[in-house]
Amino acid sequence: MLKIRIFFTGLILILACQIIVSGQTRIDSLRYLIERQSAIDSSYSRTCLEICKVAANTEDDFLIPEYAIRGLNTGALSEETDIKFHLYEYLGNYYFEAGELTNAAEQYNQMLLIGEMKNDTIIISNSYRDLGGIFLKLGDNDKALEYYRKGLAFAGTDTLLKGRFYNDIANAFLMMGIMDSVFPNYQKSVEYHKSHQDFPYLAKVYSNIAQFYSNKNKEEETRKYIELAFGAAEQSNDPYQISSAYMSLALMVFSRHPDIAHEYFLQSLKLARECKSYDLIRTLLDKLALLEENRGNYKKSGEYLRELKTLEDSIELSQQKARLRQNEFEYQAELSRAKEAEDLRTEDLDKLTRIHRERTLLYSLAAGVIVLLVLLIFAYRTHMLRKKISQTRERFFSMIAHDIRSPFSGILGLSEILKEGAQHHPDPSHLKQADSLNKSLTHVYDLLDNLLQWSLSETGKIAFNPHFQLVTPIVDEVISIHQASAKQKGVTIKNDVQFGLSARFDSNMFQTILRNLVSNAIKFSPVNSSISITAKTQGKEALLSVRDQGVGMDAQQIEKIFKSDERVSTRGTNNEKGTGIGLILCKNFVTQHGGKIKVESKVGDGTTISFTLPD
């Protein structure tokens, strides 16, 4: 009987080694294939899933996160829910084995969501089983048992899945110490797995039962189920299960019979090495080192520990090699795609060259004639359009100058008379209303005047007659114009112009510049503040500045105030309205004089606007 068992085990190990070698070839082929795939679709996701299948429980399992996430991110899995489910499952199992339980739970919850959306009870059942495993790992046995029972309720007629759940439920009861419920659930699991001849999982359940009886110190029952576990493992043709059975037996006699445990560990280690089950090898080397230490054989214990360290280093080296192979696959695939693209591009260029050679002369002649006609038509239409726009604009400016501004000045004069008369009226509201009317009419009149002058400036219709003259008289005249509005707000205007300073300027334009700057300064000045107008010689120019103690501006406002395509009109400190084009007009007039205008301001610290004129 022993010889037959040894022969059967050897045959299983040879087959397993062939599978491992062919598995490595398979995973390399799949990785090379996916790097060459140009279309990111469901077939791409299916290849990613196949890589996860081959890499699972091997030294290449570190590839699972990369390819599972690749497959899930294709965006082509709206109908392929089965592929999506299995990708989440492989990714969740990887995180579970790595101890990253939070990440694993996220993947299992995604699986559960797919099952609920598809109304697939089997997917829902498997998702609950995986989530229950996380809670069992965390030691929350009550929650684990709750999820296992939920999953069992969804298993329906799938008796194989039910068998898995009964084993899990028994484990949960065992962890909770409810021993009366442990064996009946294990027994149900055995019945279901026997009916399906699922020998690998049956061996696992028998091992669990053996461990259960070992904890209760029932050696006869323990030995019975260990033998059953061996038998199921041999029938499964799974060397991993046989090795696991030997290890379970060794652990059960570890403390009572260390010599027997040593032999079982060696048998298990031999099988684990032959089938390259690195997880089992690591566990067995660690247990053998502990066993030899307990027996006082420290030299042998050290040898096992050194072998364990070497094994872990070799696994890391293997993974590094696999990563290098992955980089090589990606590089070769990229080279191949680049060559194919270059060949296609060269072929297309050759075709296009032949076509162009045949049609160049005809197309060139036709294009020349068409372009000439288009240019002629466009030039004629542009000329007529400009002419029409110019005529319309001139009529509009004429209307502003004569039909609107002239009669409006009379209305403004009447409003001032009304304002003066209201000062003697017993009802204060009359004065307030008259003052508001006068301010509104003044604002509209300023807007019309600025608009007219700006428009004439833009079209070159405004007269420009500069000559050398004194600056002070113009400044005094502007101050007198704004004295009333400044006094009403409690603002003092100071004339600090250098005595005898003269410059070359057009009187009307210069007055318009100062009028707008002083008006703005009053508008943004607080009550009981001052405005200073200064002028002095700076090199070959006269530098004039208007400074207030007002609210100031930030950099964004300064950037916009001189742009004609961005109208900026801000309310003053007493809610005064602005025209929005006064400063643009100032800049145009200063530029026409050959000078420059600049703004220095800080929020809450006033504003200084300076401009230069030829001295």
What is the Rg, in whole angstroms, of the alpha carbon atoms belonging to the chain?
47
Interval 411-458: pLDDT, tens:
766 777 776 777 777 777 766 677 667 666 665 666 666 666 666 666
Position 575 in a domain: yes
563 DSSP 8-state letter: -
Residue 52 falls within a domain, yes or no?
A: yes
* pLDDT score, position 460: 61
Q: What is the mean pLDDT of the chain?
A: 80
Torsion sign, CA atoms 580, 572, 516, 438: positive
> By the 8 A CB rule, do 493 and 531 touch?
yes
Q: Please determine, for residue 62, whether its predicted confidence score (pLDDT) is greater than 80.
A: yes
Mean pLDDT for 523-541 is: 90
Task: Give the CATH number, domain containing residue 594.
Answer: 3.30.565.10
pLDDT over threshold 60, residue 405 = no
Helix, coil or strand: residue 470: strand
Looking at mean pLDDT, say which of 11-25, 153-167, 372-386, 436-450 comes out highest.
153-167
Q: Which of 72, 99, 119 lies at the terminal end of a domain, its last residue?
A: 119
Has residue 124 got a pLDDT over 80? yes
Amino acid occupying residue 584: I
Supply the pLDDT for residue 14: 37
Residue 322's pLDDT is what?
Answer: 55
Task: Provide mean pLDDT across the span 259-288.
Answer: 83
Q: What is the structure's pLDDT at 530?
A: 92
Amino acid 548: pLDDT = 93
Q: Which of 281, 309, 242, 328 is nearest to 59 (CA)?
A: 281
In a domain, 414, yes or no: no
Among 95, 119, 143, where does a domain finish? 119
pLDDT tens-digit map of 169-224? 999 999 998 999 999 999 999 999 999 998 888 888 988 898 888 888 888 888 88
What local confidence, expressed as pLDDT, does residue 223 receive?
Answer: 82
Please indicate, yes or no, if residue 26 is contained in any of the structural domains.
yes
Q: Residue 323: its pLDDT value, please?
A: 58
pLDDT of residue 12: 35
Asked if 244 and 280 count as a contact pair (C-beta separation under 8 A), the reply is yes
Distances from the Cα of 478 to the Cαs of 458, 493, 505, 510, 583, in angstroms?
Answer: 24, 10, 16, 10, 16
Best-predicted range by mean pLDDT among 81-85, 191-195, 326-330, 367-371? Answer: 191-195
Query: Number of folded domains in the chain?
Result: 2
pLDDT at position 13 over 60: no
Mean pLDDT (whole number) for 357-362? 79
Q: What local confidence, expressed as pLDDT, does residue 398 receive?
A: 57
Closest CA to 243 of 280, 205, 198, 286: 280
Alpha helices (runs of H) in 37-120, residue ranges in sequence order: 42-55, 64-72, 81-97, 101-118
User: Which secondary structure element, helix H or strand E, spans residue 404, and what is its range?
Assistant: none
Question: Which domain range does residue 564 map to?
Answer: 466-614
Give the residue from 78, 95, 119 where a domain finishes.
Answer: 119
Is position 153 within any domain? no
Residue 2 has pLDDT above 50, yes or no: no
- How many Å apart are CA 589 and CA 457, to the nearest integer? 8
Q: What is the pTM of this model?
A: 0.45
Has residue 253 been placed in a domain?
A: no
Give the pLDDT score at 539. Answer: 86
What would the pLDDT profile of 364-399 be if each residue is shown by its tens digit?
Answer: 778 878 888 888 887 888 878 877 776 676 666 555
Assess if residue 476 is contained within a domain.
yes
User: Is the pLDDT at 71 greater than 90, yes or no?
Assistant: no
145 part of a folded domain? no
- Quickly state the pLDDT bin for 136 (edges 50, 70, 90): very high
* Lowest-confidence region among 326-340, 408-422, 444-458, 547-561: 326-340
pLDDT computed for residue 17 by the predictor: 40
Q: How far apart are CA 546 and CA 535, in angstroms?
A: 9
The side-by-side arrangement of strands in the sheet containing 492-497 is 492-497, 530-538, 541-548, 607-614, 597-601
Q: How confident is the model at residue 311 (pLDDT cuts 50, 70, 90)?
A: confident
